[in-house]
A and B are shown apart, each in its own frame.
Chain A
């Protein structure tokens, strides 16, 4: 496998890897490092890549495990990942300041979710994978995923409703 083949193979999902890493690690720099690490790992094992049934699902699983490991080691060192990029989430398309504010709220609310719910919301609502794929990636059965997803969505809705109605932060 040559470099060009590899790039064309990896191209479609490298952004997804990055976004999942960013969802979990929050900081953009950390997420970039993680993505690079994942892609290099894939590149090193490029001989075996033909044997994988679904490279994309495989790399998403790798990303998930890698980021969770990262978080564990950070917690063990009693270090918090520093980040200052809340505003990155909002696009320039969004002109209304208020709307941008509430989008920031969504991102903050999602940060407070448990890791597994974060991953599931990311994979389902942002990357739009179907449940079968998610269950492969996370090695969970579909019902468990649905339950976690429903919980996560309800939490987000509740918190959003609260901030929307009363401005509770």
Chain B
């Protein structure tokens, strides 16, 4: 009975009239061990179909090509922003004069300038003290030169004594 229906199915199969269900039935039949001897030669065909169904694609596909490009441009943009942030305040600073400032700003300006002057006066005083230090070191150098002369004087005296 079963064999009969399988034979009919194969006939239909060869004429490409089977449905997917019937084909699955055929595959199941040929996957089993008790295949009728005269149908044996169909076995590898159906086995091959079921086996090659399981083959898989294992390679990875690099999908993130676009993203990396975006990241590169982000760094460029960051540099540009930095440069702008450095230069833009300078342009604004140049266009301002003392006269164009509001009275409050002028007052603040003069006050800060006075404070700076005070600081610079202090600095200059410090500098003068440094000058006196330099004078001391000058005197010191002169002293050393004197000492060198003395040592040469002693050399010549030694020579004179040896000659005697």
Please report A residues at the B interface, Cβ cutoff 8 Å.
3, 6-7, 14-15, 17-19, 22, 32, 35-36, 39-40, 43, 88-91, 93-94, 99, 102-103, 105-107, 125-128, 130, 145-147, 149-150, 153-154, 156-157, 160-161, 164-165
Contact = CB atoms under 8 A, between A and B. Distances in A.
A106 B14 CA distance: 16
A137 to B, nearest CB: 16
A150 B59 contact: no
Contacts, number: 92
Given A35-B57, A126-B49, A128-B23, A3 B15 contact: no
A164 B41 contact: yes
B20 interface: yes
B7 interface: no
B53 A150 contact: no
Given A35-B59, A130-B20, A99 B13 contact: no
A153 B48 CA distance: 13
A94 B14 contact: no
Contact of B51 (A22, A93, A156, A157): A93
Contacts of A14: 57
A36 B49 contact: no
Decide if the interface of chain A is mainly helix, strand, loop or mixed: helix
12 contacts: A17-B57, A39-B63, A91-B51, A93-B51, A102-B44, A106-B48, A125-B49, A150-B14, A154-B14, A157-B41, A157-B45, A161-B41
B17 A127 contact: no
A47 to B, nearest CB: 12
A93 B50 CA distance: 11
A18 B114 CA distance: 82
B63 A106 contact: no
Contact of B53 (A7, A40, A127, A164): A127
Contacts of B132: none
Contacts of A22: 55
B42 interface: yes
A20 B23 CA distance: 20
B48 A103 contact: yes
